[in-house]
A = this chain, B = another copy of it.
């Protein structure tokens, strides 16, 4: 008795990709006017929420791989969105912080971003929205809750 894979229209990985596409599309539209990418937006949001932190923690909270963050930090520093300072005690480590220019992008986009989020809550319903977040968290390998 074979145990075939689900049809691609009922595949969990593909469903995750398509849902992500649907969610990110309006956010990308919003960000295109600011000149930053979706990933850079994520980094700025984490920095705005937690403040200055070391690169390792930043990568973890932003769900970015280290090599990606290294490249992004360079371009974001050139754009004046973040600053990087080396740890004096341990010269291997670096700290990243958001600049006023970076914070301004967050502040400027916050109203529209909130509207987008509200739209998805309305699409799914408040209850389903929370359920979805809970189910997604169960698939997160780094989630030890």
* A residues in contact (CB < 8 Å) with B: 2-8, 10-25, 27, 38, 42, 45-46, 49, 61-63, 110-111, 113-114, 117-118, 120, 123-124, 128-129, 131-133, 135-143
Asked whether A131 and B140 contact (CB < 8 A) given A3-B111, A49-B8, A63-B18, the answer is: no
B5 touches A117 (CB 8 A): yes
A82 CB to closest chain B CB (Å) equals 16
How far is it, in angstroms, between the C-alpha of A56 and the C-alpha of B137 when the chains are bound? 34
A8 touches B139 (CB 8 A): no
How far is it, in angstroms, between the C-alpha of A142 and the C-alpha of B46 when the chains are bound? 30
A124 touches B138 (CB 8 A): yes
Asked whether A18 and B143 contact (CB < 8 A) given A5-B113, A8-B61, A12-B117, the answer is: yes
A59 CB to closest chain B CB (Å) equals 13
Note all chain B residues with C-beta closer than 8 A to A128: 135, 138
How far is it, in angstroms, between the C-alpha of A17 and the C-alpha of B141 when the chains are bound? 11
Note all chain B residues with C-beta closer than 8 A to A131: 131, 135
A136 touches B8 (CB 8 A): no
How far is it, in angstroms, between the C-alpha of A124 and the C-alpha of B17 when the chains are bound? 19
Note all chain B residues with C-beta closer than 8 A to A114: 3-5
A139 touches B63 (CB 8 A): no
How far is it, in angstroms, between the C-alpha of A24 and the C-alpha of B69 when the chains are bound? 21
